[in-house]
Amino acid sequence: MENVIIKDTQPKSNNPKTTKEKSIESPSKIVMNRLKKNKLAMFGFILLIFMILFSFIGPLFISYGYNTQSNLIKSAPTATHILGTDYLGRDVLTRLMYGGKISILVGIIAVVIEMVIGTLIGAISGYYGGRIDSVLMSITDVFLSLPFMPVILIAGSLMSDLRLDPEVRIFLLMFVMGILSWPSITRLVRGEILSLREQEFMQATEALGLKDIRKIVNHLIPNVIPTIIVNATLGVANAIILEATLSYLGVGVAEPIPSWGNLMNAANSIADFKNRAWLWVPPGVCILLTVMAVNLVGDGLRDALDPKMKR
């Protein structure tokens, strides 16, 4: 008889020791992995952390106050004053740290105000549509038509004429910056909501009989948070530059409270500009590094949150 060889046609069982099953990653983990692979974004993140620590933790290790005066007027850098002193004998390094705290806080809080107002108005406008949408978009168009820089310069000049307390002035400055900046995020959120409200998950909320406020806050706004985060990150950089510009012109943060902008005001003097670079170069470098870091992180977040990216 011929030998008949019977082959085993049944599939071999997978051995867990030799085969690796692909784990399902959450969306947040995917975003973090993409962000970690972006070297420029990680460099920006490390640089931003350093600037935050320098501004918020650094003053704890300095023995001077931001308004402590000495007899060393416009003194060059020494062992006791690493970055020299200003026109009142105040330590430049100390004022640089406190100024960074003010500039960063002004940028962040102004953007938070902008995002809260813009997101709420955009979500309500996009969800309801019709007459409500027309009214809200008309108000948005009015704010968009305002010349931003002249209006904020006028507001800063009024605060100077009223001689408001410097601390009160900082809060008013943040409020004015936020109030004038929300229309752009409103239009962006409205466009996102208009497309999201037609999705199947919104039909499910209709079937469940949820209230409109729950639909907007719990289901629509969370779906536009990635867009809001990216725009907020990039908006902080713009707000820091705006605050520095206003303070440099004398209509932003007022003395004796320091900010990177009013520290650079020393460059208004030709003698200081030529001979005393320690007065204005450090705040300029801090503005450059912070804005660059925020923009790098914002660009990295935008790429990481883009569903079309395959990295």
Give 239-255 pLDDT, tens digit per residue. Answer: 999 999 999 988 999 98
Highest mean pLDDT among 94-98, 127-131, 144-148, 298-302: 94-98
Contact predicate 41/35, CB 8 Å: yes
In the prediction, which pLDDT does 85 show? Answer: 95
CB 246 within 8 A of CB 252: yes
Q: Is the pLDDT of residue 8 over 80?
A: no
> Tokens for 171?
């809060």
The model's pLDDT over 47-100, given as tens digits with 9 standing for 90+, comes to: 999 999 999 999 999 989 999 999 999 999 999 999 999 999 999 999 999 999
| Residue, of 46 and 28, whose pLDDT is higher | 46
pLDDT of residue 308 exceeding 70, the answer is no
Q: Is the pLDDT assigned to residue 267 strictly greater than 60?
A: yes
What pLDDT, on the 0 to 100 scale, is given for residue 304? 86
> Which CATH architecture describes the domain 96-304?
Orthogonal Bundle (1.10)
Task: Please provide residue 231's backbone torsions phi and psi, each rounded to the nearest 5 degrees.
Answer: -70, -35
- Quote the CA–CA distance of 173 and 153 in Å, as a whole number: 10
How far from 266 is each of 76, 85, 250, CA to CA, in Å?
14, 12, 11
Q: What is the mean pLDDT of the chain?
A: 88
- Give residue 18's pLDDT band: very low, low, confident or very high (50, 70, 90): very low
pLDDT at 160: 87
The secondary structure of residue 85, as a DSSP letter, is B
pLDDT value at position 84?
94
Tens of pLDDT along 137-150? 999 999 999 999 99
Q: What is the pLDDT of residue 11?
A: 52
Is omega for the bond preceding 256 within 30 degrees of 0, making it cis? yes
Give 175's pLDDT tier (boundaries 50, 70, 90): very high
Contact 230, 305 (CB under 8 A): yes
Of the spans 72-76, 210-214, 264-268, 300-304, which averages the highest pLDDT?
72-76
Separation CA 219–CA 121 (nearest Å): 16
Look up the pTM and report it.
0.87
Q: Which of 12-16, 52-56, 226-230 has the lowest mean pLDDT?
A: 12-16
What is the structure's pLDDT at 311?
46
Query: Confidence class of residue 208 from pLDDT cuts 50, 70 and 90?
Result: confident
pLDDT the model gives residue 201:
84
**What pLDDT does 22 receive?**
47
Structure tokens at 135: 């009214």
